[in-house]
Structure 1
Amino acid sequence: MPSPSRNWWLLAIVLPLLFLFVMYGLFNRSFGDFFAVMGLAFLFGVPFGMGALVIYLSPREKVESRTYRMLMPWVPILFFFVVTLLFAWEGWACWLMALPLFMIAASAGGSVAGYYKRRNDKKRERIYVSVLALLPLVISPVEQLIGKIPGQYKAYTYIDIHASKENIWKNVTRVGAIAATQDKGWFTRMLGFPRPIKAELNYEGVGAYRKAIFDKGLIFDEKVTAYNHQRSMSFTIHADPYNIPSTTMDEHVVIGGEYFDVLNGTYELEPLSNGNYRLHLYSHFKLHTTFNFYASWWASWIMKDIQNNILQVIRQRAESGLPENRI
């Protein structure tokens, strides 16, 4: 048999990796009232315990290196993410957002476990690592009892346009077919979000119905709630998650779903000097998680990327003088 000392790395990777899969199964498949993937107990507590386990299973001479304690726990995480993506257990967008939390937590767990390992107290080290690894199972039911925290947030964007207000406004109210080459939403495209296709409006005024159509079957139903011709337009936004194909978006980030929803949007046209106009676009969205402080950063980035994409299309068409139904 090969010497265990030569294969320590196998132990320090495989067992923590198995730990991740077991915890993922518990949090994602069973006991829904007590455990949830979309919670701090899983997103921070599980990688924290896994990081501690990696260092516990590593040789003491390796643990003496601070770099090792910080970076070695990332290895099982990367294997875990690759496997779950290959088998389509989770979407790319969800894991990309979770990755920073996982890496920070794993490094923190490795650092704590390293502190006890370097003290050469094997009995205490074993107890502390066991507690750290199992702590998410205790924290998660408490977190679920406290409940998800609803919060509303605002995403604000603007663009300056050198065109007449007539040209700008007709491209605001109705956005004609957007070619793939005009899509500049690099961030949402990287996450696999649907790209905008067009927006239709039945008439200009309060009560009008507006439909924003994206590819992959995503449609926002919008109703105009305030209208000031060539100055401002506000509208509610509704996306029915049950009408969105399951392959369109990850269930944890689907718009209109359990965790993330867009409420309303507003265009405002402000005159500047030298025949320029500033077109403001802002929206309000809500989150329903136990870690809104972190999720709101990602959601705001997504919303701003979508809005900036639309604004640059409007500017291009308004300044070129093309009607709203031309590419």
Structure 2
Amino acid sequence: MKLQLRVTLAIFAAVAFAFIVRYLFAIDSLSALYSVMTVTFLLCLPFGVGYLTVYICKDETVEYSAAAFFVPFIPIFIFFFATLLIKVEGMACWIMIMPIFLILAGLGGITARYIKFKKRDKNKTFVYIVLLLPFFLSPIEKMIGAIPGTYKAYTEIDIRASKEQIWKNVTRVRAIDKQQDSAAFTRFFGFPRPIKAELDKEAVGGRRKAIFDKGLVFDEEVTAYQPLKSMTFTIHANPYDIPSTTMDKHIVVGGEFFDVLNGTYQLERLDAINCRLHLFSTFKLNTTFNFYAGIWASWIMKDIQQNILKVIKERSESEARIVVHT
């Protein structure tokens, strides 16, 4: 019974620590010193949760390294569900950072176990250092600042249709049914699904509007155009026009941390009956952990683009079959 009580106390204390750090790092008036979109928050919070959990647990509970590594998962998952429940964080953000949180919490637990058994005389000193570390490191990181990075997401698809049939489905995308939406990855994240794209004229200066569900709209302008060959367009989303329920504020398009700059379609003929359609986009990240955020952003952009390409392929090939049969 005492062991269970001690474990419960350890989990409660660890979750409380996580909420305190999350709350303080999100206060607008302290934004010059703290932010949840920092390496400090990403690494120190879960490490501290893991360390504090094992520090409070009785020795016999974390006698083995495996226990010290996995027991901290409990407060992390509780923190995860609690922040979702009270809508402090969104599912998309959590899925992205969960692998790092679990690994760092486990490492924090392993470190606490080592100190607990090997450096008992320094046990209290180390726990204070670990718990206060994010509050000292974050201001330093904020002074250094984020380094904006620009990235490209490349996708392509082979289509058995003529250039004319493909191109008319590129310039204007008719309404997409849910059954045609194959972007399982981004749907799982809760990202809006594409509905349609409209273009007022096929020339430089043409205005294109890409409409997604949940109120997400991209205003685009054609900056380069070659009929049946290529089309480049800028992409603009006003984050203030996007409903707060549409995307997590930390990954909203056009926001402080993530923005899509432009997109390009390129069409090439492979042989007498096959063409290859390329779609690539340029996006910008503005965090101190672009090395990690860039991986997820690239996956998301590629999934969105590949979904559009599949729709274009299906429609173009369907129209090509109708022409052949008639």
Q: TM-score range by the shorter chain?
A: over 0.9
* Structure 2 runs not aligned, ≥5 long: 321-326
Task: Report if aligned partners of 1:48, 1:133 keep a CA contact under 8 Å in 2.
Answer: no
Task: Report if aligned partners of 1:51, 1:109 keep a CA contact under 8 Å in 2.
Answer: yes
Query: 2:249 matched to 1:251?
Result: yes
Which residue is equivalent to 1:86? Answer: 85
Task: Report if aligned partners of 1:201, 1:210 keep a CA contact under 8 Å in 2.
Answer: yes
SS in 2 for 1:217: coil
The list of structure 1 runs, each at least 4 consecutive aligned residues, that deviate by more than 2 angstroms after superposition, is 3-6, 61-64
Return the letter of the residue paired with 2:199: L
Shift of 1:108: 1.4
1:287-310 Cα deviation digits (max 9, x unpaired): 000100000011001100100110
* Partner Cα separation in structure 2 for residue 6 and residue 306 of structure 1: 47
Shift of 1:274: 4.7
Q: Pairwise mapping of residues 129-144 of structure 1 onto structure 2 (< 5 A)?
A: 129-144=127-142
1:31-67 Cα deviation digits (max 9, x unpaired): 1211111111111111111111111112222323121
Return the letter of the residue paired with 2:65: R
Identity of aligned residues (%): 55
* Partner Cα separation in structure 2 for residue 289 and residue 241 of structure 1: 17
1:70-101 Cα deviation digits (max 9, x unpaired): 11111101000101111111111111111111
Which residue is equivalent to 1:23? Answer: 21
Q: Pairwise mapping of residues 52-67 of structure 1 onto structure 2 (< 5 A)?
A: 52-67=51-66
**Bigger proportion of residues as helix:** 2
Which residue is equivalent to 1:110? Answer: 109
* Partner Cα separation in structure 2 for residue 259 and residue 166 of structure 1: 39
Which residue is equivalent to 1:325? Answer: none
Task: Report if aligned partners of 1:64, 1:118 keep a CA contact under 8 Å in 2.
Answer: no
TM-score by length of 2: 0.95
* Partner Cα separation in structure 1 for residue 63 and residue 147 of structure 2: 41
Task: Report if aligned partners of 1:55, 1:63 keep a CA contact under 8 Å in 2.
Answer: yes
**Structure 2 counterpart of 1:232, from 212, 219, 230:** 230
- Stretch deviating more after TM superposition (38-47 or 289-298): 38-47
Task: Report if aligned partners of 1:16, 1:50 keep a CA contact under 8 Å in 2.
Answer: yes
- Aligned-residue Cα RMSD (Å) equals 1.4
SS in 2 for 1:118: helix
* Partner Cα separation in structure 2 for residue 5 and residue 72 of structure 1: 13
Return the letter of the residue paired with 2:42: L
Return the letter of the residue paired with 1:244: I
Shift of 1:6: 4.4
Return the letter of the residue paired with 2:54: I
* Partner Cα separation in structure 2 for residue 64 and residue 271 of structure 1: 65
TM-score by length of 1: 0.95
* Partner Cα separation in structure 1 for residue 3 and residue 156 of structure 2: 60
SS in 1 for 2:284: strand
1:237-274 Cα deviation digits (max 9, x unpaired): 11110111111111001000000000000001111135
* Partner Cα separation in structure 1 for residue 3 and residue 195 of structure 2: 59
SS in 2 for 1:123: helix
Q: Pairwise mapping of residues 1-327 of structure 1 onto structure 2 (< 5 A)?
A: 4-29=2-27, 31-119=30-118, 121-321=119-319
1:208-236 Cα deviation digits (max 9, x unpaired): 11110111111111111111110111111
Matched positions, count: 320
* Structure 1 runs not aligned, ≥5 long: 323-327
SS in 1 for 2:286: strand
* Partner Cα separation in structure 2 for residue 202 and residue 303 of structure 1: 25
Task: Report if aligned partners of 2:3, 2:61 keep a CA contact under 8 Å in 1.
Answer: no
SS in 1 for 2:295: helix
Which residue is equivalent to 2:323? Answer: none
1:89-132 Cα deviation digits (max 9, x unpaired): 1111111111111111111111111111121x433011112101
SS in 2 for 1:43: helix
Q: Structure 1 pair 204/65, CA: closer, same or farther in 2 (3 Å)?
A: same
Return the letter of the residue paired with 1:165: K
- Stretch deviating more after TM superposition (86-95 or 279-288): 86-95
SS in 1 for 2:263: strand
Shift of 1:4: 3.6
